[in-house]
Chains A and B, each alone.
Chain A
Amino acid sequence: MKKVSIIGAGPAGIEAASVLAKHGISVMLFEKSSSPLNNIMDKAYLFPNFQSAMEIADDLSGRLLNDKITLVPDTEIVDVKWQGTDWKLFDAKGQTYVSDVVLIATGYQVFDAKRKEELGYGIYKGVITSLEMEKMIKYNQILNVSGDIPKRIAFLQCVGSRDEKSGNHYCSKVCCVTAVKQAIEIKKMIPTVDISIFYMDLRMWGQGFEEMYRKAQEEYGINFVRGRISEAAATFDSRVQLKSEDTLMGVPLKMTADLLVLMVGMEPSAGTRNIASRCEICGDYGFVKTISPHLYDSETGKPGLFAAGTCKRPNCIEDTVNDARSAAYAIMEYLNTL
């Protein structure tokens, strides 16, 4: 009986597990925290169709109800070793597991905004991250530091992405559209609020994204300012003063906002970094490297070691789920050759 181990019970891990289980393959699904789908639970609504994140999470969790899937929560896999014929997995408590195939689905974590100290995250209360804004939207509690309805909110794109100074040169792919989505949601809740989005360039790559962007400008009156925010400071009434430059107008710009939302990018999670370096499949920035992004994107080049989802690169949920499916089929093909 062939056994597959999947590290990480996020969208990728769960989707791959469910596809494999449907084909009669037993799967061990390891999750380091007590429940699956933690990153999705942080979100309120998902772009581009404003579907509730809870719905997606419920649907995905339902797929776990299969005899062939064993969810192993509170188990952090810290090392995996190839033993000639199978893989041995070591968890943080010292227990070991053996399986024929390992699928890495360890995912991402968001960039720690404190590392960009000039933006004042962790110093000024009015500076929050996109995750915190998502939570505010989720609980319908969009308030400034004094507890009032905010009059002006500024979004800053590319915090910890496309940024040489923080060491991440890559684009995190989902932040542009997320900011547009959040801005529209805020506007729907508080029509009086004035929203500005500071961007380098907006990458509306997906289906429906461009339409959202157009709607944001035409229907919701959201301002888009091309320019980076160089520094933030607190005002006496705990609002945030921003210094920037409008690079289309070519003028320096100062603005006082109730909230500054930092669109934090995606970085490989600690688990991704660890497993990638231990298996010697470490690519750029600590992401997992696959054989080729075109035709062999699930295979890592090691026998029986596969990768899916955001442990390879920043990605949105739909692509992550599709990627997990293709990984599951690649695994089945591999198992047939054994």
Chain B
Amino acid sequence: MKIQVIPYNIFVIPFLVGVALLLVICLYKYIRWIGKFNKQQRDTIKKNWFSWKIFSAVWEMFREGLLHVKIFKKNFLLGVMHQAYALGWFLLIVVGFAESTLTMKYLQQENSVERVYQLENQGDWYVKEKGEGVIDELTLGNEEVSKINYKRPFYVSIFYRYFVHDVPSSFRNAHLFSNVMDGLLLYVFLGLTMAIIKIMYSRILGMRRTTRHTIVDRFSKFALWSIFPLRLLAESVTACLYGNGGFFTQTIGNLFDPMIVRGMEHSLWMFYSVMLSVFFVTLPFTRYMHIFTELFLIYFRKIGVKESNEKSGYTMFELNACSRCGVCIQGCPLDKELGNHKVQSVYLVRSIRNQERPGKIKMIADDCLMCDRCSVDCPVGIDLNAIRRIVRNKGTLDTKGNYSYVHENKYSFNAIGRIAYFGGCMSHLTPGITESMEKIFEAAGQKYWYMDKQRSVCCGRPLQQQGFLNQAAELREKNSDMIEKSGAVMLVTSCPICYRSFKTEYNLSIPVLHHTEYIDMLLKQDKIKVRKDDKKVSYHDPCELGRGCGIYEEPRSVLKRVTNLQKTRYQKDKSVCCGFNLGNTVLTVEQQTKICNASLKNLTSKPVDTVVTACPMCKKAFIRATNEYPVRDIAEVVAENLIN
């Protein structure tokens, strides 16, 4: 007679229902979002869906989904917390699966009728003849058993300690496994403890402020938090009754009185299962949706899918990949300096995802400097400014034709072989910069065409940032046309705002350089000669140049040659916005000045003679805020120190 042995207890039902609902809801959502990808994104996926980039995607999934390397780099303790949850739980599942698989194999090899007899007595296993119904004790005792087949449904590894009380003596690693599993549970508990500390004293974990969560999120968090203590209790009680625990659960189990806890064992496991189920069912509707979505996002991003101007399926993946960890709140100047705790990216992403009031979403999207500080901090790498621009998109408002007059201007210039110099609107308000650039061009013997000296067309980025996309495109078209027709070989601009636009929003056939890059090039090629003065300066990384285009080293290399550069506390990608970024048109001058003062404070925390920046906007902002320190652009510092 062949018999089958299947572990089963009523408490697996909530768990199974939870898993099934989780799968169905997630699948439904993912399929819907993939259906909403726009044409360009679809084409990218069709082209790249299977390429070598998959390997790098998997590697990043491992690094970010489990290890949380990016958070570790920003904030060690926070990294430990997130990793403890993710990696700890993941390993609990993997090791638990391995443990149950191996044990079942040994049970199979043992092929002992006595054990089956025992299991059936235990009442949590179905013992049945293959092809027939449940067999009773009597039959089992009388018939000759030729083969015992141990079935192993996937839920066994979740409730393993309950189902397998005594492991066959031939399986030597039993103790090792139970100890490892206890260790992993402790690891998750470490994360849990830190999470509780974070709620009460977030500063211990290096967070000034944590995210304010919605009630649904809090409910789900409560379910998640209760899973692990319940599992510990249930396992400890089982360990108390049967002695199958590891170093942790057994120690706790030994504290209990078997007579008292015997009646509680089943309910504890049931409770554990119910909480798992609650968490699974709420997961797709809460921030915990990020667990799976982040993996998809990493894949799509790696194969080259990008945000567009409209909300698309990819946007949905981005929105849902946000874990609301609150890292974006920490650096936000609006939070830090203005005490505005409502407009950080985490709340933008949440309000769009939860389809809150359009007015509220718009308010949040508009009240942002677009300084990119949160984007570089985001551990998930969500393109937060692109999402803000999607909300800001004015569509066909103020329709085409508004800027058509720029095309009537037939102004053209023969600049074949020359460098085109684009000062930018803001540089016109800081003539010190453009004058210095002209001096530098002359010193280098470089022929140039100052293309916006008399009549200038804006680069279009301020409009782009505010969502006037058609109008911005019109300006870009005119400028591109002028540049391409002039025959210039290179475009140099003094304004990081224009620079980022020319670099990322235009499609120019010639190289585009910011003047910091250009001066650095001249110095390295010995085209200009400078002396080194004995002033101490601090350098402010403009948002659009630093975080926006990754230009950190060139200005530093230039400044080190002409003066003495001092380090500041927040620099490079942590630089504090000057507060006057064109991204925000909602802030009052007083608020902008507050942020500016904070930025200036960072630059002058060590004694310096001059504050140096590389952006006309930042320069104007700082000049406004201080009478104490001279504020110079890097081009001015170089022009002052030129040796003819």
Contact = CB atoms under 8 A, between A and B. Distances in A.
Interface of A: 112, 114-115, 117-118, 120, 122-124, 164-167, 231-233
Contacts, number: 33
Interface in B535-550: none
Interface stretch (B213-221, B304-312, B427-435): B427-435
A102 to B, nearest CB: 25
Contacts of A118: 428-431
Nearest to A232: B431
Given A118-B428, A118-B430, A231-B428, A123 B435 contact: yes
Q: Is the contact region of chain B dominated by helix, strand, or loop, or is it mixed?
A: helix
B431 A123 contact: yes
Contacts of B624: 115, 165-167
Nearest to B620: A117
Interface string B449-485: 0000000000000000000000000000000000000
B431 A231 contact: yes
A185 B589 CA distance: 38
Given A164-B589, A167-B589, A167-B593, A120 B431 contact: yes
A233 B431 contact: yes
A115 B435 contact: no
A118 B623 CA distance: 12
Contact of B430 (A117, A124, A164, A166): A117
B627 interface: yes
Nearest to B589: A164
CB-based closest 10 A-B pairs: A118-B429, A117-B430, A115-B623, A123-B431, A231-B428, A123-B432, A120-B431, A164-B589, A117-B432, A167-B624
Q: Looking at chain B, what size class is its interface with the partner chain?
A: 10 to 19
Contacts of A112: 627
Contacts of A231: 428-429, 431
Contacts of A123: 431-432, 435
A127 to B, nearest CB: 10
A128 B333 CA distance: 38
27 contacts: A112-B627, A114-B623, A115-B623, A115-B624, A117-B429, A117-B430, A117-B431, A117-B432, A117-B620, A118-B428, A118-B429, A118-B430, A118-B431, A122-B432, A123-B432, A123-B435, A124-B431, A164-B589, A165-B589, A165-B624, A166-B624, A167-B589, A167-B624, A231-B429, A231-B431, A232-B431, A233-B431
Nearest to A267: B627
A248 B609 CA distance: 45
Nearest to B453: A233
Q: Which residue, of A117, A120, A164, A167, has the highest number of chain B Cβ atoms within 10 A?
A: A117
Contacts of A166: 624
Interface of A is mostly: mixed
Interface string B588-611: 010001000000000000000000
Contacts of A114: 623
Contacts of A165: 589, 624
Contacts of B627: 112
Given A117-B619, A118-B428, A122-B432, 11 more contacts: A112-B627, A118-B431, A123-B431, A123-B432, A164-B589, A166-B624, A167-B589, A231-B429, A231-B431, A232-B431, A233-B431
B612 to A, nearest CB: 15
A231 B423 CA distance: 14
Contacts of A120: 431
Nearest to A122: B432
A114 B619 CA distance: 12
A295 B78 CA distance: 60
Nearest to B433: A117
A115 B596 CA distance: 15
A111 to B, nearest CB: 10
B199 to A, nearest CB: 39
A112 B628 CA distance: 12
Contacts of A164: 589
A120 B431 CA distance: 7
A114 B622 CA distance: 12
A271 to B, nearest CB: 13
Nearest to A127: B431
Contacts of A167: 589, 593, 624
B614 to A, nearest CB: 15
A117 B623 contact: yes
Interface centre among B431, B593, B623, B627 (most CB of A within 10 A): B431
Interface in B204-230: none
A123 B624 CA distance: 17
Contacts of B620: 117
Interface string B576-596: 000000000000010001000
Interface string B376-387: 000000000000
A232 B430 CA distance: 10
A154 B624 CA distance: 25
Nearest to B432: A123
Contacts of B432: 117, 122-123
B251 to A, nearest CB: 63
A119 B536 CA distance: 28
Contacts of B623: 114-115, 117
Nearest to B627: A112
Interface in B408-435: 428-432, 435
A164 to B, nearest CB: 6
Contacts of A115: 623-624
Nearest to A117: B430
Contacts of B428: 118, 231
A232 B593 CA distance: 25
Contacts of B435: 123
B233 to A, nearest CB: 60
Contacts of A122: 432
B634 to A, nearest CB: 15
A231 B431 CA distance: 9
B582 to A, nearest CB: 14
A204 to B, nearest CB: 29
B120 to A, nearest CB: 85
A183 B23 CA distance: 83
A39 B624 CA distance: 24
A290 B620 CA distance: 33
Contacts of B429: 117-118, 231
A115 B429 CA distance: 11
B618 to A, nearest CB: 13
B483 to A, nearest CB: 22
A167 B620 CA distance: 12
Nearest to A270: B627
Nearest to A109: B627
A114 B432 CA distance: 10
Q: Which among A114, A118, A166 has the greatest number of chain B C-beta atoms within 10 A?
A: A118
A112 B627 CA distance: 8
Contacts of B619: 117
A167 B627 CA distance: 13
A120 B428 CA distance: 10
A112 B624 CA distance: 10
Residue from A120, A123, A166, A231 whose CB has the most chain B CB atoms within 10 Å: A123
B395 to A, nearest CB: 30
A270 B156 CA distance: 78
A165 B627 CA distance: 15
Interface in B302-339: none
B405 to A, nearest CB: 13
A118 B427 CA distance: 9
Interface in B45-95: none
A186 to B, nearest CB: 26
Contacts of B431: 117-118, 120, 123-124, 231-233
A167 B588 CA distance: 11
A233 B434 CA distance: 10
A166 B429 CA distance: 13
A42 B160 CA distance: 93
B55 to A, nearest CB: 52
Q: Which of A114, A122, A124 has the most CB of B within 10 A?
A: A114
A233 B432 CA distance: 10
